[in-house]
Amino acid sequence: MRPTIRDVLRAARRRIAPVSQSAGLDAHILLSQVLGVERAYLLVYPNHTLTADQQNRFEKLVERCAAGEPLAYILGRRGFYDREFIVTPAVLIPRPETELLLEAALVFVKGKPDSTVVDVGTGSGALAVTLAAHCPAAAVYAVDISPAALAVAKRNAAANEVAERVTFFEGDLLVPLLERGVQIDVIMANLPYVASDDLPHLAVTRYEPRLALDGGADGLDLVRRLLGQAAAALNPGGLVLLEIGADQGAAVEALARAAFPQAGVEVLPDYAGLDRIVRIANP
Ligand code: GLN
């Protein structure tokens, strides 16, 4: 007797439960991927049976999930804001908190539609691509030091039909733009901000790239360097949006005030009420 959808889902939920708060949902998502159906199908046809090949492929994915591999890498995609992004282990998996940074940028660009916007450390391209998709008149640049990450970001730009409106540069922070004398209205940056000593304690580092997480001794090496470069490139009236760690609000606010003495600096909380975004508004 071939196992039914109900059977394999029950076994998978049990297998995944030790590593996931959402084991039932994870099992549904993996099985709909293997069967090539919508999740609703699994609820409507719990007695349908799997072929040996389907069962095999499902069990392989369940084992990866049970070993702690993030679902986004297993599926090769993750939703961010209003679209889906290709993700590989070369890029950080986009986080919901980062949508707050995007929203703050969208508000600004609504008021100045022909803004020049830079996504520094673009990774999957989630910020640059989503902004470009929503702001057709903006000039969007995306920079990353990792060629492997840039390749993923370019695929995402193409998949979202904004490839012609996002200019990609491989390089260190704002250097490629400074070299070309590009003046910027909005800098968006979700840089690595985890302190090096904290990395070994974090589950994310088992699968996500260290290059996207390691911010040096206090986690702020890259933020500090970016702020040092930003003043020369930011237009009057421009905006810098930085994602930060929950315990970095006061430190980054101080760095921001030092780099931009005339600017309005605000620390904005995420959905959990934790410091997450620093917003620097140039006068
Ligand atoms: N938010 C990430 C985490 O959960 C860190 C991302 C970053 O360093 N930019 O660890």
Query: Do the domains spanning 5-68 and 90-281 agree at the CATH topology level?
Result: no
Q: What's the distance, CA 108 to chain centroid?
A: 20
- CATH code that applies to domain 5-68: 1.10.8.10
How do residues 165-211 score in pLDDT, each as one tens digit? Answer: 999 999 999 999 999 999 999 999 999 999 999 999 887 788 999 99
Alpha-helical runs (H) found in the chain: 5-16, 23-35, 39-44, 52-66, 71-75, 98-111, 126-134, 147-159, 175-179, 221-233, 249-259
Residue 106 C-alpha to ligand 1 middle, in angstroms? 22
Q: What is the CATH number of domain 90-281?
A: 3.40.50.150
Residue 11 in this model has a pLDDT that exceeds 80: yes
Span 208-228, pLDDT tens digits = 999 999 999 999 999 999 999
> Domain boundaries in the chain?
5-68, 90-281
Burial class (CB in 10 A: 0-12, 13-18, 19+), 266: middle
215 CA closest ligand 1 atom index: 8
Q: Rounded to the nearest whole angstrom, what is the distance from the C-alpha of residue 236 to the centroid of ligand 1?
A: 30
Tell how far the Cα of 12 is from the centroid of ligand 1, in angstroms.
29
Pocket of ligand 1 (CB under 6 A): 92, 95, 190-194, 202, 204, 213, 243
> What does pTM read for this prediction?
0.95
CA–chain centroid gap for 35, Å, is: 28
Q: Which atom of ligand 1 is nearest to the CA of 204?
A: 10
- Cα–Cα distances (Å) from 139 to 117, 135, 165, in that order, read 6, 9, 7
